[in-house]
Chain A
Amino acid sequence: MSLVPTSNAFKENATGALQDKPLQEALGIARHHSIQTRLNTVAKMPEFETLRDIGRDLKNHIIANLDTYLLQFEQSVTTRGGKVHWCPDGDSARAKVLEICRSVNAKTVTKGKTMIGEEIGINDFLFANGIEPVETDLGEYIIQLRGETPSHIIGPALHVTKEQVEETFREAHTDLDPARNLEDPASLMAEAREKLRAGFLKADVGITGANFLIADEGATTIVTNEGNGDLTQTLPRIHIVLASIEKVVPSLKDAMTLLRILARSATGQEQSVYTTFSSGPRRPTDLDGPEEFHVVLIDNGRSAYLGSDLEEMLRCIRCGACLDHCPVYHSVGGHAYGWVYSGPIGSLLTPMLVGVENAKPLPNASTLCGRCESVCPVRIPIPKLLRNWREREFARAITPQMERSGLWFWAFMAKRPLLYRLVTRIGARALFNLAGQQGRLRSAPLAAGWTKHRDLPASQGRTFHEQWKARKSQAGKGARS
């Protein structure tokens, strides 16, 4: 039921994305917006780098004590009158959500933005079972109307231009005057606000995600700017929280560490507008709030990566900074990655969640430039982990034959220094001679992929080894004289 990945078609997807004019326009705006905004905000917080260290250490501690904190969380939720449902995979999570919805004959479900909800394809599943899911985050609402998946972790409709939103609303809101003026983006938002208000008030169940689960308080946390998540979890009779296991944190004080780095990394705000801690159903004397509180805890393959060379990806707090700073993401946007998560973190998570054989190109869709790691609030060494995926692909013979042969050949040579030097010497001279006066090549054997678009700068005729040797002997002479 969940979304079928098209990640193996990354190259084709990317080619399409590069030729997609509205997408390139939207990406251009995003690119200019996010990097500077984050920088400005980080500059105002002298402790920011230390907070990142603490965030990393905190997450490492949690990952090493995950069973303890999850059990503590379960107990605290239960004490407050809520329920925790343990779901090993997407199937069991979807079934549990449906069961809860059916217990009150739910017709409509409102949804706050939840990436795990996207991951398990909860919308399509509910719809197929006769329940209407209404996305309430403005970005999610836009892409739901367009029948698309999110192209960014925190800005799901980042790929959509203002003009396209107008077009989408005109098509979807057919009950409104077709001649209405939607020139001003504020009028688009006002229209969505009006439309969704009705949804909030009639929904039987509200589904949100969770940024954190607070173990000792039994509370779940959502962070939003719109307030849609709060309406989603306050107005209906039932509040369901979808959360993956690594979202748990020991205490409120620890959550504050992550809250101080999350918004600054995600949107460059000092703090998001709404951060809400929810625990249990409404108290007997409360005037509003849900009557039932359910937390659906989802593993979906994560625990298998604990204690592996990839476990550091489980530190991710889903801020999207790595997407905002990635030259590849900037060029092709999120949909090229072919599934729910995109950008550098998507290239790590997608192989975990759909199987690396279904996401072969993703670990390779990176120049390993390291910008992602330099901004990650919990210091996930993304380039290193991408290389670990590449090694796994090689070990499992998933890497294309051509590339494998190339790597095998290189390894063969590199293990035989004399042969290596001889061959590279011949190669360097051959390229030098081929290039002639210009010093660059219009085409070269085995390098058509490069020379199709630009010239290949030619070798200067001597290998690095030779030049280094020459330089050292030169320096040696200098020192003696």
Chain B
Amino acid sequence: MSTSGTGRDRMLASIRAGISRQAERRHGEPAPGKPTPLIPARATAPGVDVVGLFKTQLANAKATLDEVASRDDVPAAVARYLANNNFEARVRLSPDARVSGLPWDKAPMLETSRGRSHGKDPTSVTPAVAAVAETGTMVLQSSEGTPTTLHFLPDQHVVVISKSQIVGTYEDALARVKRGPDGALPRTVNFVTGPSRSADIGKILLMGAHGPKKLHVIVVDGEL
């Protein structure tokens, strides 16, 4: 590698020299083209029960699920989940209207606040971009109403989605990410498949390494 020029110039020159060597080695054959991606049939084959597959995969990912009829039932469902597991009745809500705008006064025992987390919130409640059936994955994004800290700092993470947000594949979910005016991705898009875990201590699988120890998904039959 030449030692003159900027690092950028030197790297590009070295890469291009390599690409010329590749061309020589191919003896006139064309450079390898880009293959067409393949989307597995698991969640796309005709007749697949996408919602059913999502529920199975969510359980496989060691997350829990609750189903309610309407958005008005969500606050009570959250309160019930916390009470049943002996978790503190205090939640930090995404400011996003899909969560913030739920009738939280219907769960008067629940202490609610809105905004990002600084690491003092036992439980967060957030919306999602979509839920992916193929692996039971929640797709989340950053925005002014959905701060990323709520996805990682609390001990329990409750995600509220409407049934219509359950899609088959990652590609379906990515198409629903809300982009900026210039078409840019948001600062972060998170795929979350179950609660945090690690097998770094003696290969023993333990839940709750750094991110949430519990992931609980509430599916609303109607719209949010």
B210 touches which one: A29, A158, A165, A193 (CB < 8 A)?
A: A193
Contact (Cβ within 8 A) B15 A61: no
User: Which chain A positions have C-beta within 8 A of B206?
Assistant: 185-186, 189
| Total count of chain B residues near the partner, CB < 8 A | 82
A254 touches which one: B11, B37, B148, B201 (CB < 8 A)?
A: B37
Within the assembled complex, what's the spacing in Å between the Cα atoms of A291 and B7? 25
Within the assembled complex, what's the spacing in Å between the Cα atoms of A47 and B211? 31
Contact (Cβ within 8 A) A162 B202: yes
Contact (Cβ within 8 A) B188 A276: yes
User: Which chain B positions have C-beta within 8 A of A304?
Assistant: 1, 14, 18
Within the assembled complex, what's the spacing in Å between the Cα atoms of A205 and B39? 37
User: Which chain A positions have C-beta within 8 A of B8?
Assistant: 86
Q: Is the interface of B mostly helix, strand, loop or mixed?
A: loop
A344 at the B interface (CB under 8 A): no
CB closest chain-B residue, reference A275? B191
Contact (Cβ within 8 A) B33 A61: yes
Contact (Cβ within 8 A) A54 B37: yes
Contact (Cβ within 8 A) B186 A92: no
A122 at the B interface (CB under 8 A): no
User: Which chain B positions have C-beta within 8 A of A67?
Assistant: 12, 15-16, 19
Most chain A CB atoms below 10 A, which of B24, B40, B60, B187 = B187
CB closest chain-B residue, reference A190? B208
Within the assembled complex, what's the spacing in Å between the Cα atoms of A288 and B194? 23
A274 touches which one: B135, B190, B203, B204 (CB < 8 A)?
A: B190
Q: Tell me whether A307 and B196 are in contact in the complex, defined as CB-CB below 8 angstroms, given that A26-B202, A254-B34 are known contacts.
A: no
1/0 contact string of B22-41 vs chain A (CB within 8 Å): 11110000011111111111
CB closest chain-B residue, reference A217? B185
B209 at the A interface (CB under 8 A): yes
B137 at the A interface (CB under 8 A): yes
Contact (Cβ within 8 A) A88 B14: yes
Contact (Cβ within 8 A) B198 A162: no
Within the assembled complex, what's the spacing in Å between the Cα atoms of A185 and B201? 7
CB closest chain-A residue, reference B141? A277
Q: Tell me whether A161 and B202 are in contact in the complex, defined as CB-CB below 8 angstroms, given that A67-B12, A231-B153, A305-B18 are known contacts.
A: yes
B151 at the A interface (CB under 8 A): yes
Within the assembled complex, what's the spacing in Å between the Cα atoms of A200 and B149? 12
Q: Tell me whether A230 and B202 are in contact in the complex, defined as CB-CB below 8 angstroms, given that A58-B34, A65-B31, A256-B170 are known contacts.
A: no
- How far, in Å, is A290 (CB) from chain B's closest CB? 8
User: Which chain A positions have C-beta within 8 A of B103?
Assistant: none
A380 at the B interface (CB under 8 A): no
CB closest chain-B residue, reference A63? B22
Q: Tell me whether A306 and B202 are in contact in the complex, defined as CB-CB below 8 angstroms, given that A189-B208, A273-B211 are known contacts.
A: no
Q: Tell me whether A271 and B137 are in contact in the complex, defined as CB-CB below 8 angstroms, given that A158-B203, A279-B185, A279-B187 are known contacts.
A: yes
B180 at the A interface (CB under 8 A): yes
B116 at the A interface (CB under 8 A): yes
Contact (Cβ within 8 A) A307 B144: no
Contact (Cβ within 8 A) B184 A279: yes
A33 at the B interface (CB under 8 A): yes
- How far, in Å, is A94 (CB) from chain B's closest CB? 13
User: Which chain B positions have C-beta within 8 A of A165?
Assistant: 201-202
B149 touches which one: A29, A65, A235, A252 (CB < 8 A)?
A: A235
User: Which chain A positions have C-beta within 8 A of B210?
Assistant: 136, 138, 193, 196, 200, 226-228, 231
Contact (Cβ within 8 A) A80 B202: no
1/0 contact string of A261-300 vs chain B (CB within 8 Å): 0000001011111111111111101111100000001010
The A73-87 residues at the B interface (CB cut-off 8 A) are 79-80, 85-87
Contact (Cβ within 8 A) B20 A307: yes
Contact (Cβ within 8 A) B196 A286: no
User: Which chain A positions have C-beta within 8 A of B174?
Assistant: 252
Within the assembled complex, what's the spacing in Å between the Cα atoms of A139 and B210? 12
B142 at the A interface (CB under 8 A): yes
User: Which chain A positions have C-beta within 8 A of B76?
Assistant: none
Q: Tell me whether A64 and B32 are in contact in the complex, defined as CB-CB below 8 angstroms, given that A86-B7, A288-B116 are known contacts.
A: yes
The A420-467 residues at the B interface (CB cut-off 8 A) are none
User: Which chain B positions have C-beta within 8 A of A272?
Assistant: 193
Within the assembled complex, what's the spacing in Å between the Cα atoms of A46 and B41? 9
B148 touches which one: A33, A65, A289 (CB < 8 A)?
A: A289
1/0 contact string of B136-150 vs chain A (CB within 8 Å): 010000111001110
The B118-169 residues at the A interface (CB cut-off 8 A) are 118-119, 135, 137, 142-144, 147-149, 151-153
Q: Tell me whether A47 and B15 are in contact in the complex, defined as CB-CB below 8 angstroms, given that A92-B7, A185-B204 are known contacts.
A: no
User: Which chain A positions have C-beta within 8 A of B144?
Assistant: 283, 285-287
User: Which chain A positions have C-beta within 8 A of B42?
Assistant: 45
CB closest chain-B residue, reference A277? B189
- How far, in Å, is A435 (CB) from chain B's closest CB? 45
Contact (Cβ within 8 A) B192 A274: yes
B residues with CB within 8 A of A: 1, 6-8, 10-12, 14-25, 31-42, 57, 60-61, 95, 115-116, 118-119, 135, 137, 142-144, 147-149, 151-153, 170-171, 174, 180, 182, 184-204, 206, 208-212
**27 A-B residue pairings within 8 Å (CB atoms):** A54-B35, A67-B16, A86-B7, A190-B208, A197-B119, A225-B199, A228-B209, A230-B188, A253-B37, A254-B37, A256-B171, A257-B37, A260-B40, A270-B193, A271-B191, A274-B193, A275-B190, A278-B188, A282-B142, A286-B144, A286-B147, A288-B116, A303-B14, A303-B15, A304-B18, A306-B21, A307-B23
